[in-house]
Structure 1
Amino acid sequence: MAYTTEATTVGGRDGRAILEHGKLSLAMALPKDMGGSGEGHNPEQLFALGWSSCFGQAILALAKKHDLDGQRAKVTVAVSIDKDDVSFMLSAKITVALAGADPEKLRALADDAHRICPYSRATHGNVAVTVDIA
């Protein structure tokens, strides 16, 4: 095991989430779009933060292979939650931007990053994901 972290939440989507050792504590709130106050954070936001950071690291790891400067890459992850007749489900849109980059090289880099990013691998086949370049 390379790394493990732990978080605890009391009160669900309208509660408080705390990382181990109290290093980060967040008020959680149901989004206004879902009937809540929106006066806190929600799991989808935190998932988007983690995924964009992780995907950005995959970009950095692979950029040289594609003759691109990964340090200048910007990764945006939009996470959506929706409901069907049975339950809720997530979807995501990942956008990789790199000013001045050759679009074909950037597309290949984004696709490779999607193959190795742990968040992308964990959601493969379970979450509808699109990967775009800008």
Structure 2
Amino acid sequence: MAILYSTRVTASGGRKGSIRSEDGLLALALAIPKELGGMGGATNPEQLFAGGYAACFENALLRVARQSGHRFADGDVEVVAEIGLSRNEADAFVLHASLAITMAGIDQASAEEFVRGADAICPYSNAVRGNVDVVKTVTVR
């Protein structure tokens, strides 16, 4: 299988350190969230994952809609990803995810069909499938 795109990001200092992409476009300080006993004040891996998942899923949704002959106007689609961290019965950390998808100008059945299609092609969805429970909520406004 041919790789279509690849990037490199280096982490230093763990959850209290920083990350930097090889091209320098991404350079962020990291902090342990206050909710986990840290100082907060900087981003964390869960926020980064949520942002990537939301953006990727929305793009997959727009692609599926276009392929079905529907074009959304700017602002007609919003995807909010929530990533949670907990411990399992073996005391290992595990992720939980939810996607709140809102669309305008479309009926509920079509919206749900587009979400199923997006879930099938989104790289994040494919990466977590079978490993992370993802709850999807679809709202039409």
Deviates more, 1:41-50 or 1:82-91: 82-91
CA displacement at 1:27 relative to structure 2:
0.6
1:80 is the counterpart of 2:84: yes
Q: Give the structure-2-normalised TM-score.
A: 0.88
Shift of 1:84: 2.5
Question: Identity of paired residues, percent?
Answer: 37
What is the aligned partner in structure 1 of residue 66 from structure 2?
Answer: 64
Q: CA deviation at 1:88?
A: 0.3
Matched-pair contact (CA < 8 Å) for 1:66–1:105: no
CA contact (8 A) 1:107 1:133 kept: yes
- The 5 A counterparts of 1:87-106 are 87-106=92-111
In terms of fraction of residues, the more helix-rich structure is: 1
Secondary structure (helix, strand or coil) at the match of 2:23 reads helix
- After TM superposition, the structure 1 = structure 2 runs for residues 3-82 of structure 1, keeping only pairs within 5 Å, are 3-66=5-68, 68-71=70-73, 72-82=76-86
Report the secondary structure of 1:9's partner residue. strand
CA separation in 1, counterparts of 2:67 and 2:26?
36
Unaligned runs of 5+ in 1: none
Partner residue, 1:121:
126
Could you report, residue by residue, the CA deviation over 1:9-41 in whole angstroms, capped at 9, with x for unpaired residues? 111000011111322210100111111111111
Give the Cα separation in 2 of the matches to 1:61 and 1:107.
Answer: 14
Bigger Cα displacement from structure 2, 59-68 vs 21-30: 59-68
Check the 8 A contact 1:66/1:108 in 2, yes or no. no
SS in 2 for 1:50: helix
SS of structure 2 residue aligned to 1:22: coil
Determine the C-alpha separation between the residues in 2 that align with 1:68 and 1:89.
37
1:108 is the counterpart of 2:113: yes
